[in-house]
Amino acid sequence: MKKKLIFFIAALLYVSAILSIQWFESQSANGNIKSVGDAFWYAIVTLTTVGYGDFYPVTIPGKIIGLLVIIGSLGLLGFIIGEVTVRFNRYMEKKKNGFWGTDFENHYIIIGWNEFGKKVANQIILADQKVAFVTNSKADLELIDDLYTSKETFCLFADYSNMEAYAKVNIAQSKRVFVNFKEDSETLVFVINLKKQYPTANVVVTCSNPSLKETFINAGIDHVIAKNEVASKLVASYLFEPHVAAYTEDLIATSVADEDSDIQQFLIKEDCEFADYEYLDAFMKLKKDFNAILIGLVQDGKVLKNPDKKITIQSGDYLILITGGQSRKILENFFGVHQGE
């Protein structure tokens, strides 16, 4: 408020000086600043340091006041440039911090940043999906900004407990939210509060303690992954069936090269050719036309592993396929959706 008052007084004095020059110069027969417009033109040319020289004071009082206007113009110009710079820097800082939000839709949100979250994000981005990050660390904000482009990611700097802030990552329009905290207790308290604020959010978490898995599910979390359980199963598989384990690891990773394999799911839209297809017919067509293997079906929210060959595929179902890296774009064009949708 004080700064605005000082600026107002300075501007008032500046305008008064300009009007005074016009008055003194208009009284002289040799003066060329005859009107208020001439005086302001002289002040503007002086302020911008252009100095055309078409208007200038010739009277002693006009020259004295003109000198004050010149000195005042330097201060006013410096003030204006400084204010513009400060406001621009503030805007850019808010933009960098994600203050203005994102228009991402059907994207994924990762709350909490660490090396594990980075690996999860890399898999999602390799699948041509967008990711919004939320972090409470400026250092992580800088790191994320260096690692990814703004086309594929968005990052919000915020206090994790500020539930209103998650609207800026468009959580209501996201596909899934991965809560990536170190401590299980912190994760549990957070997701309870998050689900209260955003009950439709599809939340995925990992937990270190498998005994807490049921507790997380009861808290309304859609998918809970116990890290130790998954790791132990994969290690055991490597011990007695290493080739199967290697193939499994390849399948659950996003395919990059043409020779990579990947498990993908595709939504059956109403206009999809497979709507009302029998499962076996779809299996044969996928293998013949796309070299993709149909291994399962999601119907009414339930995963049907290798279902009966005569089961009918309906719109709204998901097909689960094993594909090669070269088939993803072709299949996305055929189904009319991105994988995972």
Rounded Cα distance, 173 and 170, in Å: 6
Q: Which helix (H) or strand (E) holds 322?
A: strand 318-324
> Smallest Cα–Cα separation from 237: which of 228, 229, 245?
245
CA-wise closest residue to 340 among 150, 151, 204, 167: 204
Q: What percent of the chain has pLDDT over 90?
A: 42
- Superfamily the domain 108-231 falls into: NAD(P)-binding Rossmann-like Domain (3.40.50.720)
- Of 58-72, 112-126, 180-194, least confident by mean pLDDT is 58-72
Render 281-299 in DSSP notation, one character per residue.
Answer: HHHHHHHHHH--EEEEEEE
Give yes or no for a contact between 209 and 239, defined as CB atoms under 8 angstroms apart: no
Share of residues in the chain with pLDDT > 70 (%): 96
Maximum Cα–Cα distance across the chain: 108
Q: Where are the domains of the chain?
A: 2-96, 108-231, 255-335
Indicate the fold that domain 2-96 takes in CATH. Helix Hairpins (1.10.287)
Tens-place pLDDT, residues 65-102: 878 877 777 777 777 788 889 889 998 899 899 999 99
**Lowest-pLDDT choice from 20-29, 160-169, 317-326:** 20-29
| Fold equal for 2-96 and 255-335 | no
One-letter amino acid at 51 equals G
46-50, 79-83, 280-284, 295-299: least confidently modelled range: 46-50
* Range 310-324 average pLDDT: 90
pLDDT band at 146 (very low <50, low <70, confident <90, very high): very high
Q: Kindly report the average pLDDT of the chain as a whole number.
A: 86
pLDDT in tens, 225-283: 888 887 887 788 888 888 887 888 777 777 666 667 788 899 999 999 999 999 999 99
- Structure tokens of 136? 């409470």
Structural contact between residues 27 and 58, judged by C-beta atoms closer than 8 angstroms: no
pTM beyond 0.75, yes or no: no
* Between residues 267 and 51, the one the model is more confident about: 267
Return the DSSP state at 272.
-
> Does domain 255-335 fall into CATH 3.30.70.1450?
yes
